[in-house]
A = this chain, B = another copy of it.
Amino acid sequence: MIDLRQLRQFIAVAEELHFHRAAERLNMSQPPLTATIRRLEDEIGAQLLERGNRVVRLTPAGRALLEHARLTLRQADLAITAARDAAAGRVGTLRLTYVGSAMYGRLAETVRTFRRSFPQVQIELKEATTADQVTALREGTSDLAILLPPLPDASGLHLREFDEDRLAIALPAAHALARKEGLSLSDLADEPFVLWPAAEGRGFHHQVVELCTSAGFAPQVVQEAHQMHGVLALVAVETGVAVVPASMVGFRSAEIVYKPLDIPGSRFTLCLCHGPEQLKPTAQNFLDVASR
């Protein structure tokens, strides 16, 4: 069966057209070269070189083989390079999910840096709730997640802090309270609230409800929406007020006014999370970038 060593040796002879020089180039002696070429010719079933007494010339078959042998060696080189690149996480894919507000915080810059450092890695970004992200990690359909603890069941998952944020009140720009200084949560006692469904975004939901309770009222939820942008879209059209991550400040700023909540319990931490499997190299590189 044919073999790269044979091809390498043949290429040397075909390029030098001289067995001895070819052998020198290959750091070997001439006799085995003769043998290799002979066996190669036997395997192919055709003469590759015409050995005149003083000249060696390529036959048409030899010329054809030379061309394709070079391609084969290059392909083999590509193969090991590809494997090394994949192992080092320089090429490949990275599936990253995140809660809606994350991309307005540190994540944006992290992704940008990662892309610059690893331009050949295909990043698949997907916004998802914390619960869905955990499922995806467990099913292996996602590599990394930016989510909001607490998790219903963190067994087997690896968590590390990634970003800090706090809550803020989001009001329609036309709202009477939008101009008020020193707005506090209790001012919203009688306001219609837009909120995530309790099933989704458990972290946010609980945190908001708890803060309201501490402020002495239960929020009147008039509408639920399914993602960060959905909630804020409803605020923008004056369906009600909402409590959202402060990093959203600036989003739809013509229609929405944000009031940071500087009270205990308004802070929260976003975590970078990955599943029980061995991290794939691209994901490991993302972690490294995120650690800087």
* Interface residues, chain A, with chain B CB atoms under 8 Å away: 1-5, 7-8, 43-48, 50, 59-65, 67-69, 71-72, 75-76, 78-80, 82-89, 91-92, 278, 280-282
Question: What separation, in Å, do the CA atoms of A278 and B71 have in the docked complex?
Answer: 28
Tell me how far the C-beta of A142 lies from the nearest C-beta in chain B, rounded to whole angstroms: 15
Question: What separation, in Å, do the CA atoms of A71 and B72 have in the docked complex?
Answer: 9
B75 near A87 (CB under 8 angstroms)?
A: no
Question: What separation, in Å, do the CA atoms of A10 and B63 have in the docked complex?
Answer: 30
B44 near A84 (CB under 8 angstroms)?
A: yes
How many of these chains are in the complex? 2
User: Which B residues touch A2, using CB under 8 A?
Assistant: 4, 76, 79-80
Question: What separation, in Å, do the CA atoms of A117 and B182 have in the docked complex?
Answer: 93
Residue in B1, B4, B87 whose beta carbon sits within 8 Å of that of A44 in the complex = B87
A84 near B72 (CB under 8 angstroms)?
A: no
Tell me how far the C-beta of A88 lies from the nearest C-beta in chain B, rounded to whole angstroms: 8
Task: List the 10 shortest-distance A-B pairs measured between CB atoms, nearest first.
Answer: A46-B87, A68-B79, A64-B86, A61-B87, A65-B83, A61-B86, A64-B82, A72-B75, A60-B86, A61-B83
A47 near B87 (CB under 8 angstroms)?
A: yes
A282 near B60 (CB under 8 angstroms)?
A: yes
Residue in B69, B78, B89, B282 whose beta carbon sits within 8 Å of that of A68 in the complex = B78
A91 near B79 (CB under 8 angstroms)?
A: no
Given A60-B282, A282-B60: A79 in contact with B83 (beta carbons within 8 A): no
A72 near B67 (CB under 8 angstroms)?
A: no
User: Which B residues touch A7, using CB under 8 A?
Assistant: 76, 79
User: Which B residues touch A48, using CB under 8 A?
Assistant: 83
Among residues of B, the one whose C-beta sits closest to the C-beta of A283 is B60
User: Which B residues touch A87, using CB under 8 A?
Assistant: 44-47, 59-61
B75 near A61 (CB under 8 angstroms)?
A: no
Tell me how far the C-beta of A80 lies from the nearest C-beta in chain B, rounded to whole angstroms: 5
User: Which B residues touch A1, using CB under 8 A?
Assistant: 4-5, 8
Question: What separation, in Å, do the CA atoms of A91 and B68 have in the docked complex?
Answer: 14
Residue in B65, B78, B82 whose beta carbon sits within 8 Å of that of A79 in the complex = B65
Given A76-B72, A87-B44, A278-B50: A82 in contact with B65 (beta carbons within 8 A): yes
